[in-house]
Amino acid sequence: MSIDDEIARRNYALTTATFDCEHLVQISCGGEILATVCNPNGHPDYFAVFNGNGLDDEDNDLGHEHAIKLFDTLDEQDAWRQAVRYGYLHALGKMMTADKRLEDEALTRAFA
């Protein structure tokens, strides 16, 4: 991990990448993609939030059944904003949970 990636990780500096299509955002930190928000397989009725890059081991798009949360576009006018907001919070929570586990392990070792 580069020094820039380490500093970004320590400071929870989330970044996003968008691509040449609508409704696709990847949220990352320190070079690691933490969450992807998109229309899985271009499905117009919902937005999905996935762990990681939203791809399986063969780099194929994951279906909605692998999403950690779905946002229905038919019921909510601001479903895209809600989905992206959830994606950011999920990514940040994922990083903070990992840090808390490392802190707990270090504390346990210190008093063992």
Domain boundaries, the chain: 3-110
Query: For every one of its 112 residues, what pLDDT tens digit does the chain have, with 9 covering 90 and above?
Result: 688 888 888 888 999 998 777 789 999 999 899 999 998 877 789 999 999 988 888 888 888 889 999 999 887 779 999 999 999 999 999 988 877 887 888 778 888 7
What Å distances lie between residue 38 and 47, 62, 71, 79, 89, CA to CA? Answer: 5, 11, 10, 11, 16
Rounded-to-integer distance, Cα 59 and Cα 57, Å: 6
pTM of the model: 0.83
* Residue tagged 């409704």 (tokens): 23
